[in-house]
Structure 1
């Protein structure tokens, strides 16, 4: 007998992904006016993509007879956004956050189709994160591992 899929976890991760997308939409609304030229267009494309993701996530939750989480009336910015440089930083921050919620959705998905959607979206977020000047990580969307310490075994030092 195969284990029953954990749909509760799937619903929670779908809701968290939707909440992250709501926050990204709000954030792109804040940073958009501070950009110009190609960056303004990149921000506009990201905003449109997040609207599509929002609509898709709402549909996925509705198919499961679950009320989709609503967007907050407003969000607290992690830092002041007053110029193009801080707008780029915010965009990278938003993309890193969304990569995290879609990484969680990859883990919480109970079907290959949903897992594929989440993985593809995670990849999109990671690429946008890099495009906005974010740092590359080995596993986008996951916390960075702790720094090695003197007691951490390495290929050059045997374990004690």
Structure 2
């Protein structure tokens, strides 16, 4: 434990609950927007309408089945947060509002919400590659938020976990090099955290921790391959990281792992917002979504509420 308390001094202080050595930049919203407005219908309008419809359906599900109200209410709150964030961006951009609205859904109760979340996740993720930078980050967070909600209960999912083939990692364009380095730093930290918490997790969670650590190692290897293909030297892991609170038992271990996954999600949204490369954005969406789903799993296990982050990867002020 001495390595946890006495890491190297460089970048060892936690900021805003994040792990040390993860000084992640905020999204480049203002710089990415540019001047002027697009002429076509705003593609975010259908997403916002879908989020509003999903929130209303979740409210109805909570009323119809009080024993499932807590789960339905979490969906309603998250989808309402999605609608608010999307509508704010729609109003800011001030494009024409025409275009299709929400996709019709017939399912009721949690089964209907399960269908809605799957559709909404795909609807958002499919838009990410072609959007302007800030919008791509926001919509990727909406997609990841839907995926995280699917992970709160098998009644809503559980949804699909994305895996990574390091050999298939795309070559990043020059402007994304720093963002990929920051994603690599987040992956290094997450791997270290999973190693730290192993001794504290109950036996029933060891397999999940092992699988999660393996996925982070695959993403680390992918980042290193991407940087090498661009002729950039990948930065190594720190020898130790400072956790936001001592890890003394299973619950505190789960909470720290959830923080590590939050930092990973933030780093990958940063990649999305600093590249127009469709291949790299697609890879980053999978990484962001995977981190959001793992974060939710650990928050559920730790008994934290809400268990699913509404907009995973959103930089904290």
TM-score (norm 1): 0.82
Query: Does residue 122 of the first structure (1) align with residue 294 of the second (2)?
Result: no
Which of 132, 139, 142 matches 2:314?
142
Which residue of the partner structure matches residue 150 of structure 1? none
Cα displacement (A) at 1:7: 4.2
Normalising by the residue count of structure 2, what TM-score does the alignment of the two structures yield?
0.42
Aligned residues of 2:174 and 2:230 also touching (Cα < 8 A): no
Q: Equivalences for 1:26-45 in 2 at 5 Å?
A: 26-45=192-211
Cα pair 1:137 1:144 within 8 Å, conserved: no
After TM superposition, give the deviation of residue 17 of structure 1 in Å.
0.2
Out of 176, 183, 187, which is 1:10 matched to? 176
Task: Give the Å deviation of 1:111.
Answer: 1.2
Where has structure 1 moved over 2 Å in runs of 4 or more?
6-9, 134-138
Please state whether the residue corresponding to 2:192 is helix, strand or coil. Answer: helix
Q: Aligned-pair distance for 1:77? A: 1.3
Task: Give the match for residue 227 of structure 2.
Answer: 61
1:81 match? 247
Count of matched residue pairs: 140
Query: For 2:270 and 2:295, how far apart are their aligned partners in 1?
Result: 17
> Any stretches of 5+ residues in structure 1 without a counterpart?
1-5, 146-160
In the TM superposition, residue 139 of structure 1 has moved relative to its aligned partner by 1.6
d(CA) in 1 for partners of 2:310, 2:192: 28
Contact map agreement 2:173 2:277 (CA 8 A) in 1: no
Partners of 1:54 and 1:143 lie apart in 2 by 21
